[in-house]
């Protein structure tokens, strides 16, 4: 399954980011804690290479805590500031605010020595579609300051948000990149909802997800869909059994594969299958974070 999806407005967004980077002091790169590799836009490293950066991993409440701990250790070993958050419940938001101010401490002190009045720290939040940027801004700002939604591409233009007298945020639309070199990246993005379902084959995608879960989280898979055995079965075959067990039957007794595929993807994204992380630090072949 080879997924490529790059709407025209994303090329414009990339230009906006490049044009506005000189206006900001700190970049917050928002990743999906379930897929830290696939949710990282490789273009960002080039655009923001000279700016202090905090790697923020959202949706940590849906991720495998043990693997998240491994990721945190990996980022620390590379010297990357990193925080795992839940932008809906507000987990670690205050920690993030403190980290922003810590990164700019030296600059603030230099400005004071030069007699300059301290201005707010200007922060740009960047990330792929549907990773939770608007929800994060709302939590940081303490009010519904940005339009949010559960579908990719809700945030359209750039906007500054005044958090307080110390922090300003620049919100930007989610942006993917023109070509996924690794097919797994497109699959993982589609599974977690960063790519619209209406441009992909959801039955094939759900079948691939079942194969991943059979390998990574077999107990979760079997318990959620009442599978007595997964050994030797393809993802499509397991999806068929799950559809039968869930009563997804159409006329003639056939399995409604579209319906069960939609259910499975929705349940994965909603955390109903369990705390699932699809990528580990050891899955990195080349260090694409630097």
Q: What is the pLDDT of residues 33-54, one digit of tens each?
A: 999 999 998 888 888 888 889 9
Domain locations in the chain?
8-179, 201-269
Which pLDDT band holds residue 25 (cuts at 50, 70, 90)? confident
- 191's torsion region: left (phi>0), alpha (psi -120 to 50) or beta? alpha
Residue list, annotated binding site for GTP: 58-61, 130-135, 174
* Nearest by Cα to 126 from 176, 167, 78: 176
DSSP 182-228: SHHHHHHHHHHTSS-GGGS-HHHHHHHHHHHHHHH-HHHHHHHHT-S
* Nearest by Cα to 1 from 128, 267, 189, 127: 189
**pLDDT value of residue 106:** 76
Other C-beta atoms lying within 10 Å of the C-beta of residue 117: 6
**pLDDT value of residue 144:** 43
59 has pLDDT over 60:
yes
DSSP 86-124: BTTTTBTHHHHHHHHHHHTHHHHHHHHHTTPPPPPEEEE
Mean pLDDT of the chain: 84
Q: Which residue has the higher pLDDT, 111 or 84?
A: 84
- The whole-number average pLDDT for the span 173-179 is 57
* Nearest by Cα to 192 from 169, 176, 171, 214: 176
pTM of the model: 0.84
Angle at 39 between CA 34 and CA 42, to 5 degrees: 150
**pLDDT value of residue 151:** 42
User: Can you give the C-alpha Rg of the chain in angstroms?
Assistant: 21
Share above pLDDT 90 across residues of the chain, in percent, rounded to a whole number: 48
- Domain 201-269 fold is Conserved Hypothetical Protein Ylqf; Chain: A; domain 2 (1.10.1580)
Q: What is the pLDDT of residues 212-241, one digit of tens each?
A: 999 999 999 999 999 999 999 999 999 999
Residue list, annotated binding site: 58-61, 130-135, 174
Instruction: Please report, for residues 116, 131, 160, 264, the alpha-carbon distance to residue 138 in angstroms, rounded to integers and kept in the order given.
Output: 30, 14, 12, 29
Q: Which residue has the higher pLDDT, 4 or 69?
A: 69
Q: Which residues pair with 126 in a beta bridge?
A: 29
12 has pLDDT over 70:
no
**pLDDT value of residue 289:** 43
* Nearest by Cα to 130 from 44, 228, 31, 203: 31
- Domain 8-179 fold is Rossmann fold (3.40.50)
166 has pLDDT over 60:
yes
Which pLDDT band holds residue 168 (cuts at 50, 70, 90)? confident
Other C-beta atoms lying within 10 Å of the C-beta of residue 32: 29
Residue 82 belongs to what H/E stretch? strand 81-84
């Amino acid at each position: 399954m080879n997924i490529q999806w790059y709407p025209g407005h994303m090329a414009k967004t990339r230009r906006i980011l490049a044009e506005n980077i000189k206006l900001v002091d700190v970049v917050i790169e928002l990743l999906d804690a379930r897929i830290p590799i696939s949710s990282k836009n490789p273009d960002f490293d080039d655009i923001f290479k000279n700016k202090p950066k905090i790697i923020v991993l959202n949706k940590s409440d849906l991720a495998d805590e043990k693997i998240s701990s491994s990721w945190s250790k990996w980022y620390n070993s590379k010297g990357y500031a990193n925080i795992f958050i839940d932008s809906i419940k507000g987990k670690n938001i205050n920690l993030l605010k403190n980290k922003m101010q810590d990164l700019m401490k030296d600059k603030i002190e230099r400005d004071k020595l030069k007699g300059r009045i301290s201005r707010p720290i200007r922060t740009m939040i960047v990330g792929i579609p549907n990773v939770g940027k608007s929800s994060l801004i709302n939590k940081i700002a303490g009010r519904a300051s940005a339009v949010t939604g559960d579908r990719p591409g809700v945030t359209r233009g750039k906007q500054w948000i005044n958090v307080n007298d110390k922090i300003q945020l620049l919100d930007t639309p989610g942006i993917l990149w023109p070509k996924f070199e690794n097919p797994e990246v497109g699959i993982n993005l589609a599974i977690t909802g960063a790519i619209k379902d209406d441009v992909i084959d959801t039955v094939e995608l759900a079948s691939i997800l079942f194969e991943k879960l059979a390998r990574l989280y077999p107990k979760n898979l079997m318990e959620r869909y009442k599978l007595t055995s997964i050994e030797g079965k393809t993802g499509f075959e397991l999806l068929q059994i799950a559809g039968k067990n869930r009563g997804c039957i159409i006329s003639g007794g056939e399995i409604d594969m579209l319906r069960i595929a939609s259910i499975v993807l929705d349940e994965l994204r909603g955390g109903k299958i369990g705390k699932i992380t699809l990528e580990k630090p050891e899955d990195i072949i080349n260090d694409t974070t630097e």
